[in-house]
Amino acid sequence: MPPSPLDSPGPSQRGEYIAHVDVNSFYVSCERVFDPKLDARPVIVLSNNDGCAVARSSEAKTLGIEMGAPWFKLAADADRLGLFAKSSNYELYGEMSARVMRLLGRFSAWVEVYSIDEAFLGVSGTLDELQTLSERIKAEVFRLTGLPVCVGIAKSKTLAKMANKTAKHIKELGGVCVWDRAPAQTTENLLARLPVVEVWGIGPRLTKRLRGLDIWTAKDLRDANEVRIRDKFSIVQMRTVLELRGIPCIPMEEERVIKDQLIFSRSFSDPITDRVGMEQVMGIYAQQASARLHKHQKQAKILSAWAMTSYYNQHQDHQPAITVKLPGPTADPVVLTRAAKQLLPQILVGVKYARAGVVVMDLQPLAMQETFDPFVSAHEAKQIGPLIQQIRSEHGVKSIGLGRAGLQRGPAWEMRREMMSPRYTTHWRELLTVKAA
């Protein structure tokens, strides 16, 4: 059974809590910061190659625009609906995200960046102090970045995310919710009304199995026998049950650890039909993998590369792939690029490849294995990878690269972004111009 509400600290008692801060409609909000005419208008942000809606303002949702709606179906009615569409501006979003995360560091010594638009913070205080803190966080983020956020505070990560969701949907809360500060009957009613699929970490497939146990709501899951849930599912779901009871089981992570593989893949705006174009793709992806590995102090032992035609290409169907065991654990861009290019002999000239990718696997920490001179590549010994990253950080990501991946002129297959706003925060030539009246 869940703990009694009497177990929660009183209003004057100090306690340790977790805050969840989430930017509302992040991509759309970033666009609105620099283009006020988008305020209170229906706005969507499109996926790679201006494919489909991946972010929607509340006004766009009111129009009935679904997540993932194809732009080619929306474009004809956009003017009639007053709908504004923007291409994904990842440079702008990344910089705005970094500003928010740095700002959150002022409120807590422990910040876990969970995604581009949300973070967990370790906080402490009385319930009234936490209410004041959440209001300060919301106000300061908006004052210094122009981005609207909601703040949820609770004893566990799962309840903190639930508190944040509550803050978003109940306007009277003003965008902040301290879970333990709300009346016990109110939180009980919220849990009883919330479908179990809405609980953090519970997906549609797991929901079907939970319904088989007569678990339909978040309250049902919280009140379930945790040992039975562990035996039927796994320790992960058992932790969710305990988290819903306010027992923290998911630890704070200072930095989210990369898993045992990294994937670099994207659809092309224009199909690639020759080996020269595919060589450039493999070079760029392999060097992106090298940069990420160096950033996280990791090395890879296996590389896989592949390409494929479009699912909608009824005349051509080709999916070449290779897996290469690297000479030893490495993050060397030269070694990774050479390995990725082993795919090229399988590329058929004239076939329209719509997508390709590089995967580095079997990752291990940089210092896990002793490196003897005969097994260390000459480029790795000279720190070519870190040198390339240093030059790019000082002179831009396109300032240098290996082979065809270092060509100054962007390839024809680069992502189509025909409605992209200026990169206000990262490119001198695209700075916002302000004119005095």
Q: What is the pLDDT of residues 403-437, one digit of tens each?
A: 655 544 555 555 566 678 887 777 778 888 877 76
Read off the pLDDT of each residue in 13-41 and give the average, rounded to a whole number. Answer: 94
| pLDDT at residue 235 greater than cutoff 70 | yes
* Category of 121 on φ-ψ map: left (φ > 0), alpha (ψ -120 to 50) or beta: beta
DSSP 261-275: EEEEEEEEEEEE-SH
Of the chain, the percentage scoring pLDDT greater than 70 comes to 84
Q: Is the model's pLDDT at 95 over the cut of 70?
A: yes
H/E stretch holding 136: helix 127-145
pLDDT at 256: 55
> Contact 42/59 with Cβ under 8 angstroms?
yes
What pLDDT, on a 0 to 100 scale, did the predictor assign at position 248?
94
Residue 228 has pLDDT above 90, yes or no: yes
Q: Distance between CA 266 and CA 259 in Å, rounded?
A: 20
Write the DSSP string, 81-124.
Answer: HT-EEE---HHHHHHHHHHHHHHHTTT-S-EEEEETTEEEEEEE
Q: Which is more confident, 124 or 424?
A: 124
Q: What is the pLDDT of residues 304-361, one digit of tens each?
A: 999 999 877 888 999 999 989 898 889 888 899 999 999 999 999 999 998 899 999 8
> Closest Cα partner for 60 from 92, 25, 23?
25
Distances (CA, A) of 436 to 65, 273, 409, 431: 37, 51, 37, 16
pLDDT of residue 50: 85
For residues 163 and 169, give the distance between their C-alpha atoms in angstroms, rounded to a whole number. Answer: 10
| Domains present along the chain, CATH in parentheses | 15-171 (3.30.70.270), 183-245 (1.10.150.20), 261-405 (3.30.1490.100)
Residue 397 DSSP class: T
- Cα separation, 210 vs 196, in Å, equals 8
What value does the mean pLDDT of the chain take? Answer: 85
Cα→Cα distances 259→51, 255, 294, 343, 377, Å: 28, 12, 14, 25, 25
Q: For residue 135, what pLDDT band results from cuts at 50, 70 and 90?
A: very high
In the block, tokens 């988008």 appear at: 38
416 within 8 A of 50, measured Cβ to Cβ = yes
